[in-house]
Structure 1
Amino acid sequence: MLGDLDLLMGDETQELQEIEAPEGELFLKFKVSTGEQFALPAVSVVEVMSIGPEKITPMPNVAPVLLGTLNLRGEIIWVADLGQFLGISPPLNVDRTELPVVAIMEQQDLLMGLAVDLIVGMEWLKTESVRPALTAPEAMAPFLRGEWMVAETGLTLPLLDQSAILRSNRWG
């Protein structure tokens, strides 16, 4: 009869594979309607959801970048069009069955949903490779932590600052 240890160890001739610890910080990558890609620190992301646009309740007399409110497990949060907020894209096409929304939070008191065009995925980025955002449009610069140079493609990935977005006076 084989013991539990025998089952776990398998053939004694097999070498144990060492798991590499990821380097850097984990980021969520996504695209806005222009196709431009951005990233947010994963620690600031509360939830990533795909919702029907009909679940966002439009509100009158608010900034045009605000799509409305959403009930997130009993808490009402504002949902904004991130591309339009950053001033780089036309209004997001909400005439579709599912709309990706990234819920971000700062210090347990500010919570907001950012509607994007496409969720790309998660990636570990080496924070020492982040440099100041040199190519960003002036209107977007206050909302960037910097940019990461993607070695494989030579392109840059702008890294957003969730605190600056949440505390912006553009919501007025």
Structure 2
Amino acid sequence: MLPSLDSVLKTTNLAHSLLDVPIEDNRKRLLSFPIGSFGNSLISLEQITEIMRISLDEVLIVPETPSSVLGSYNWRGEMLWLIDLEHMIGGTPLFEQVPQLRQPIAIVIQVDHYCFGMVVKSVNEIELHDIRQILPAKLGSFPAQLLPFITGYLPKGSTVFNPKAVVQFFL
């Protein structure tokens, strides 16, 4: 039988030192990924369900959908809509920039009851940022196509992406 958490805390003297003192930490883990000429963008790991490579050959193109919708993809036995993120914000379509041998990456997001995949060429790394440093995005400081999809930016230049805005764009 495993020892209880209380007994472990008492034996390590952490019960009163670390857990009783509230730590105000506003840092979050954010996934960094490039969006064409717009630079790097960030999205909170809390909003990500999965990150996976996809084969463009396995994407089912759906007629009469916006050109930024790549199509649907079989994900865990469910239909997952894939969105060409860069094309959606006015960049070059993925089919025109990624060689067929290379597999792009889908960042699977769940917003409310909707799951969708934001398809990007690559992801960079997970970064730790203080969310209090996020500055509001202002008209004129970013391209008009990008502005509706970001919540703000960090002083070093990375934009903070808003997946909820992507869902609202397509509904």
Structure 1 and Structure 2 fold alike (TM over 0.5):
yes
**1:148 positional shift:** 0.8
Q: One-letter code of the match for 2:92?
A: P
Higher mean alpha-carbon deviation, 62-71 vs 136-145, is at: 136-145
| Local SS of the residue matching 1:167 | helix
* Residue 112 (1) aligns with residue 116 (2): yes
Provide the residue aligned with 1:13 in structure 2. none
Q: One-letter code of the match for 2:93?
A: P
Task: Note if contact 2:26-2:132 (Cα within 8 Å) is conserved in structure 1.
Answer: no
**1:99 positional shift:** 1.2
Task: Note if contact 1:22-1:124 (Cα within 8 Å) is conserved in structure 2.
Answer: no
Higher mean alpha-carbon deviation, 25-34 vs 73-82, is at: 25-34
TM-score w.r.t. length of structure 2: 0.77
Q: Deviations over 1:13-39 (max 9, x none)?
A: xxxxxxxx9751111111123372111
TM-score w.r.t. length of structure 1: 0.76
Provide the residue aligned with 1:49 in structure 2. 52
Q: Which has the higher helix share?
A: 2
Task: Note if contact 1:23-1:124 (Cα within 8 Å) is conserved in structure 2.
Answer: no
Q: Where does structure 1 differ by over 4 angstroms across 4 or more consecutive aligned residues? A: none
Q: Distance in 1 between matches of 2:25 and 2:132?
A: 14
| Residue number among 146, 150, 153 corresponding to 2:152 in the alignment | 146
Q: Distance in 1 between matches of 2:149 and 2:26?
A: 25
Name the % identity: 21
Provide the residue aligned with 2:159 in structure 1. 158
Q: Distance in 1 between matches of 2:135 and 2:36?
A: 25
Superposition pairs for residues 6-45 of structure 1, below 5 Å?
24-34=27-37, 36-45=39-48
| Local SS of the residue matching 1:163 | helix
